[in-house]
Structure 1
Amino acid sequence: MSPIRLSDLAFTLEAVIDDAFGQKAMWVIAETSDIKNYPDRGYCFLTLIERESGTTSGGTLAKLEACIWRRNYHTIREFESATGVAFARNIQLLLLVSVGYSPVYGLRLEILQIDPSYTLGNLERERQAVLDALVQDHPELIWLEAGQYITANQLLPRPAVMQRLALITAPGSDGWRDFRHELAQNPFRYDFVVDEYLTQVQGKGAERAICAQLERIRLSEIPYDAVVIVRGGGSQLDFGSFDTYLMGQTVAGFGIPILAGIGHERNVSIADMLCHESVKTPTKAAAFLIEHNRQFEESCLLLRDRLGLVARDALQTAREHLDAETERMRFVLHNFFRDRHTDLAEKAVTLRHLDPANVLRRGYALLLRNGHILTQAGNVQTGETLQVQLHDGIVTVKT
């Protein structure tokens, strides 16, 4: 066979590929790799691969170069906006592509669209698989009730005041800074005692680092009111450590209420679903603690006001009762003294009537022997001298 020029072969391949795929678009599932993104220029080069097991650890079955030109560059922004996932390597995507071949640059796929629903569905399927496994393996820690996941951590009693806190976050991070600033600047001047357990909160190894800090907190036996896990914002892939089996098991069964403020507005992680309380950002985590303590203070102030009102009512009632009893006592005493006065007056009249002087004045006389009154006739002897007491004097008589 006579040799041909390379350009002839290249042009032939171009014609064959153009005939087979030209002006056609097809949907393919592939994983991203080796991304070279140029946002300022409006284009992106990357490699699309397929692995044996569909995971990052499987062997490579296929690999093709791909690009996104300026006219379709908006699909990256639209994908990130719809999913909250950064356009990065090692993401499995559903892509609308066209096949092109250049004698100079070779075979390349042009990406026309990225389907966000496929990515969201994958994330949700992976999350659901983890939740199903947790429910099956640890029914004592997590279970379904009326379509909601209930965990042992959620059922822990919440302290009336959350003041002593264990904080898990990355050192010097925006999440750490936002949380501490909001806590320190609270308008009610509440004091918080915060012990920091600093660690990485994203990237490879983050889940084990966070769980190791939770184990440190458990072994410390310090009576924390709550454990707070915070991190700043980022893409959905940055939150992968909060969607794992290990993280779900550790959070669901932890013996201290866990408050998560891991900085994402769009999606809810497994850690969010299984912890005691979840808020969207580190700032809101601090605000939640401040508001919780404010509610306790307001309940105390309300009880104080109610106690003051009850005390005033009780004193008023007691005062009215005392006034009524005093009036009744005054009336009773008045009647008592009036009746005693009447009795005394009657007795005085009786005594006046019984006074011997008054009796003698009415014509009666007293028979005396040596100044002693005789009351019985048998005591009088014949021939003795006695005295008769009359109203106006004494007369001596002889019997």
Structure 2
Amino acid sequence: MNPIRLSDLAFTLEAVIDEAFGQKAVWVIAETSDIKNYPDRGYCFLTLVEREATGSSAGRETLAKLEAAIWRKNYHAIGDFERATGVAFARNIQLLLLVSVGFSPVYGLRLEILKIDPSYTLGNLERERQTVLDTLVQKHPDLVWLEAGQYITANQLLPRPAVIQRLALITAPNSDGWRDFRHELTQNPLGYTFVIDEYLSQVQGQGAERAICNQLDRIRASEIPYDAVVIVRGGGSQLDFGSFDTYLMGQTVAGFNIPILAGIGHERNVSITDLLCHQSVKTPTKAAAFIIDHNRQFEESCLHLRDRLRVVAQEALQTAREQLDRETERLRFVTQIYFRECHTNLAEKAVTLRHLDPSNVLRRGYALLLRNGRILTQIADIQPNETLQVQMRDGTRTVTSNG
């Protein structure tokens, strides 16, 4: 046996690796692990791993593992990646990396990360999201379906109350999202009042989707007639919103029996929850503003109807007044004609009565035969030797009838 010095072996490895990879860069796909980031110093150490394609992260066998570093000259790659994707540079993310291979006799084999391709990460996220949506459409066509390229859900088609006042709020306790939403809603300048029942929950990290869905189950079981359920969460990285991109959340939100408003605090991407809920408004503050504006629109419609009713009532009163004036004038005219006709009729009757007046008849030479002041008109009414009165134009005489 002829042993060699460790340094000789190390230098040999260095020469071999330098010959194979020196001055070269290669693109590799790997998953991040064990990140030690030093932003103030401008460098980062991490481990890159490759695991089996199937199974959970914890249960998959590791196929390869190499140490890596990002040095100061390329440290901007982390910020560039986060700005482009909205995903925090953290562990357990699969990335497409441009790396150079280096070997140090003291520090061993290490990859230097030169670039991070954001399009690969965005594509992965979108593919995962699309797979979830396709599965929901296939397995729950009564809850989620496509129309003209748009996802339509049963929750979206629920009627929205004219006034949103009683709310079920799902959010993390004492979070920025919780504070922003409540402050915006309770301090609204229009003086609207709201009843808010809080269903506090974990909203990010492992188990968040189950926690949120459990609170939705509680709301459903309460049978309280909420006008809407509001889910809010403050800002964060894309990975922090992973619980809103899951199959369970999509199924639960799409089929929920109360309109769900989502204000989950991110501007860059649209989550599955955003796509399938009744209304997505991005941030907690905007969720509160949306509710206030919705109620303001109802108030304005009521004020418009009030003004319209006032105008219609005034117009109706004016029309009625004009109609009354016309009818009054017509009645006056008809009454005048009626009284004129009555006056003419009475005058004619007066003339007739004057002609029929007994005194006028007596003047023409006639006489009236009376018994005790009663006029006799038939011979048969006269009894023999009866005393009667005869009235003529100039007086009355008593006579006795013959037998």
TM-score of the two chains, using structure 1 as the length reference: 0.94
Which of 190, 202, 205 pairs up with 2:204?
A: 202
Question: Which letter does structure 2 place at the counterpart of 1:11?
Answer: F
The percentage of aligned residue pairs carrying the same residue is: 82
Question: Which letter does structure 2 place at the counterpart of 1:292?
Answer: H
Aligned to 2:224: 222
* Structure 1 residues 382 and 181, CA gap change in structure 2 (3 angstroms): closer
* Structure 1 residues 50 and 348, CA gap change in structure 2 (3 angstroms): same
Moved more, 3-12 or 260-269: 3-12
Question: Which letter does structure 2 place at the counterpart of 1:211?
Answer: C
Question: Which letter does structure 1 place at the counterpart of 2:57?
Answer: T
Q: CA deviation digits over 1:265-324, x for unaligned, max 9?
A: 011111111111111100111111111111122222222222222222222222222222
Question: Which letter does structure 1 place at the counterpart of 2:39?
Answer: P
SS in 2 for 1:166: strand
Aligned to 1:282: 284
Aligned to 2:295: 293
- Structure 2 unaligned segments of length 5 or more: list them: none
Aligned to 2:347: 345
Aligned to 1:260: 262
Q: CA deviation at 1:389?
A: 3.5
SS in 1 for 2:50: strand
Which of 313, 316, 319 pairs up with 2:318?
A: 316
Structure 2 CA distance, aligned partners of 1:396 and 1:115? 150
1:335 aligns with 2:370: no
Structure 2 CA distance, aligned partners of 1:290 and 1:385? 111
SS in 2 for 1:186: coil
Aligned to 2:67: 65
| Aligned partners of 1:53 and 1:59 also within 8 Å | no
* Structure 1 residues 156 and 368, CA gap change in structure 2 (3 angstroms): closer
Structure 2 CA distance, aligned partners of 1:52 and 1:384? 154
SS in 2 for 1:63: strand
Q: CA deviation at 1:147?
A: 1.4
1:51 aligns with 2:51: yes
Moved more, 146-155 or 190-199: 146-155
SS in 1 for 2:163: coil
1:102 aligns with 2:98: no
Aligned to 1:24: 24
| Aligned partners of 1:262 and 1:282 also within 8 Å | yes
Q: CA deviation digits over 1:143-171, x for unaligned, max 9?
A: 22221111111111211111111111111
Question: Which letter does structure 2 place at the counterpart of 1:243?
Answer: D
Structure 2 CA distance, aligned partners of 1:56 and 1:388? 145
SS in 1 for 2:13: helix
Aligned length: 399
Aligned to 1:6: 6
Aligned to 1:41: 41
Structure 2 CA distance, aligned partners of 1:282 and 1:384? 124
Q: CA deviation at 1:215?
A: 1.1
Structure 2 CA distance, aligned partners of 1:385 and 1:32? 152
Structure 2 CA distance, aligned partners of 1:81 and 1:322? 76
SS in 1 for 2:309: helix
Question: Which letter does structure 2 place at the counterpart of 1:309?
Answer: V
Structure 2 CA distance, aligned partners of 1:173 and 1:164? 21
Moved more, 132-141 or 376-385: 376-385
SS in 2 for 1:190: coil
Across the aligned residues of Structure 1 and Structure 2, the Cα RMSD in angstroms comes to 2.2
* Structure 1 residues 388 and 74, CA gap change in structure 2 (3 angstroms): same
- Structure 1 unaligned segments of length 5 or more: list them: none
* Structure 1 residues 365 and 252, CA gap change in structure 2 (3 angstroms): same
Aligned to 1:390: 392
Q: CA deviation at 1:53?
A: 1.7
* Structure 1 residues 7 and 371, CA gap change in structure 2 (3 angstroms): closer
Structure 1 CA distance, aligned partners of 2:386 and 2:130? 139
Q: CA deviation digits over 1:116-161, x for unaligned, max 9?
A: 0100000011111111111222222212222111111111121111
SS in 2 for 1:107: strand
Structure 1 CA distance, aligned partners of 2:385 and 2:279? 126
| Aligned partners of 1:82 and 1:116 also within 8 Å | yes
Q: CA deviation at 1:397?
A: 7.5
Moved more, 49-58 or 198-207: 49-58
Question: Which letter does structure 1 place at the counterpart of 2:14?
Answer: E
SS in 1 for 2:156: coil
Q: CA deviation at 1:4?
A: 2.3
| Correspondence 1:102-181 to 2 at 5 A | 102-181=104-183
Q: CA deviation at 1:362?
A: 3.5
Which of 237, 240, 244 pairs up with 2:242?
A: 240
SS in 2 for 1:66: strand
Q: CA deviation digits over 1:12-31, x for unaligned, max 9?
A: 21111111111111111001
* Structure 1 residues 48 and 396, CA gap change in structure 2 (3 angstroms): closer
TM-score of the two chains, using structure 2 as the length reference: 0.93
Aligned to 2:77: 75
Question: Which letter does structure 1 place at the counterpart of 2:359?
Answer: A
Q: CA deviation at 1:375?
A: 4.3
Structure 1 CA distance, aligned partners of 2:150 and 2:236? 27
* Structure 1 residues 378 and 88, CA gap change in structure 2 (3 angstroms): closer
